[in-house]
Amino acid sequence: MKVYDKIFINGSWVPSVGSESIEVLNPSTEEVAGKVPLCVVEDVNRAVRAANDAFEGWSGTSVAQRAEMIQAIADCMGKRMDELAKLIATEMGMPLAMAKMIQAGLPFTIMGSFAKIASEFEFEQTIGNSLVIKEAVGVCGFITPWNYPLHQIVGKVAPALAAGCTMVLKPSEIAPLNAFFLAEVMDEIGLPAGVFNLVNGFGTEIGEAIAAHPDIDMVSFTGSTRAGIRVAELASNSVKRITQELGGKSANIILEDVPDFAKAVSKGVQDCYLNSGQTCSALTRMLVPQNRQKEAMEAAKAAAEKFSVGNALAEGSKLGPLVSAAQRERVIGYIKKGIEEGATLVTGGPERPEGLEKGFFVKPTVFADVRRDMTIAQEEIFGPVLAIIPYKDLDEAVSIANDSRYGLSGGVWAADPEKAKQIARRLRTGQVAINGGRFNPLAPFGGFKKSGNGREFGPIGLEEYLEVKSLQL
């Protein structure tokens, strides 16, 4: 069991002002995997003071110095990759092999990318008789989720460091151990005191204290749309900058002319089930030609039933548990709702997977004959549940895809990539995968509509942490 009894403020491990702790559960076994302090608002105030005190010094360092420090963080993370992967697999449930590649490998890659991005970024340019300077926005508050815990943290911390910002981080109380791991890394490489500060607790107290704090200049939040609205309300009182990456209900349009229809469907199932479906950008709505829905059902059923469900640390597990009992009940509720509303249950269902009496497991589930107005077609389920929706023609497919309050991601499969790009341009969403195009950690990530505002990763992600100043010469 991993136990942390201190938080990280002003370059030191210090006790929380509060006296309580939070237990972290292993979702595969329902046993306690770790403990961390439960902070109080005064801990946030201490962390913000430390970040403010450190800001002038850190923002005044050279870009080269900041890039060197970021690379040192990445190198230290890389040396502990196996330890990190096991830690995250244990606290949030992604199968270990995938956790090493995604939950540990992706943050390592992104952290390192910002050393290069910072070195190459144009922080000053001349426009007419003005010298335009891009400089750090200030003290940042980060509120991050449990589904890709360190990935989402690094997506904020790395560009903030590159820009010259200081920060206060509140990770999810459900999966916080990786954030304490990162604080250990910051301590080990000698990041200047106060640049990175870690507090822990529940969103309703600690998250809200960060969002409302008058001495925080920017808040970056990743989580549910409901919580994001609350963060925005609190942040607006001090007119601070806000970036948000919120929910999603992404559509995957498969055209009739795709050369290998079954392959496209199978890949779509994989995209839906990644991280047990606990992915904001998951392609959870599969749009197929009406006359090929039966074929899609058969291919999806075959693909879904290949997902072996089991303990995240067990060899061969392809689909781990959901992160908590509450999340499992939520997903089961949606599966029951799909059945009640008349969708065809192709495979899966609300019952526990056979042989798994402990752990927050859900059967990989596929529905067909889903109408665009059904609950499972409109609401973010955040579990391994795919909705197959038939369409009559391309215009209807695009209409169904855009018929959502969200706009985070999407996919298009077509024989002609140029035609697929044309369709992608019609989708009101922040990113679109063409014929299974893979995730690019240097490309901007974020959404339209209620999926949020702002972008993360790559040079455009760095821009979010910069203010613009004009010197008229």
**Residue of 39, 140, 272, 280 marked active site:** 280
DSSP secondary structure, 324-354, as one string: SHHHHHHHHHHHHHHHHTT-EEEE--SSPPT
DSSP secondary structure, 106-145, as one string: HHHHHHHHHHHHHHH---EEEETTEEEEEEE--EEEEE--
**140 flagged as catalytic:** no
Give the separation between CA 460 and CA 446, rounded to whole angstroms: 11
Q: Where are the beta strands (DSSP E) in 137-237?
A: 139-143, 166-170, 196-198, 218-222
Q: Name the DSSP class of 429.
A: S
Q: Name the DSSP class of 309.
A: B
Q: Which of 92, 103, 87 is nearest to 28 (CA)?
A: 92
Give the separation between CA 72 and CA 84, rounded to whole angstroms: 17
DSSP H or E run through 32: strand 31-37
**Residue of 245, 380, 456, 464 marked active site:** 245
Tokens 């790559």, residue located:
458
Strand order in the sheet with 2-3: 2-3, 31-37, 21-26
Q: Residue 37: beta bridge partners?
A: 21
Q: Which of 226, 251, 25, 244 is nearest to 142 (CA)?
A: 244
C-beta separation of 420 from 437 below 8 A = no
C-beta separation of 53 from 138 below 8 A = no
**280 flagged as catalytic:** yes
Give the separation between CA 220 and CA 213, rounded to whole angstroms: 13
Q: Which of 8, 102, 106 is nearest to 54 (CA)?
A: 8
Give the separation between CA 373 and CA 384, rounded to whole angstroms: 20
C-beta separation of 155 from 110 below 8 A = yes
- 369: tokens are 């004959």
Which residues contact residue 134 at a Cβ distance below 8 angstroms, ignoring those fewer than 6 apart? 122, 123, 124, 463, 466, 467, 468, 469
Q: Which of 348, 274, 360, 298 is nearest to 324 (CA)?
A: 360
C-beta separation of 373 from 340 below 8 A = no
- Residues carrying an active site annotation: 245, 280
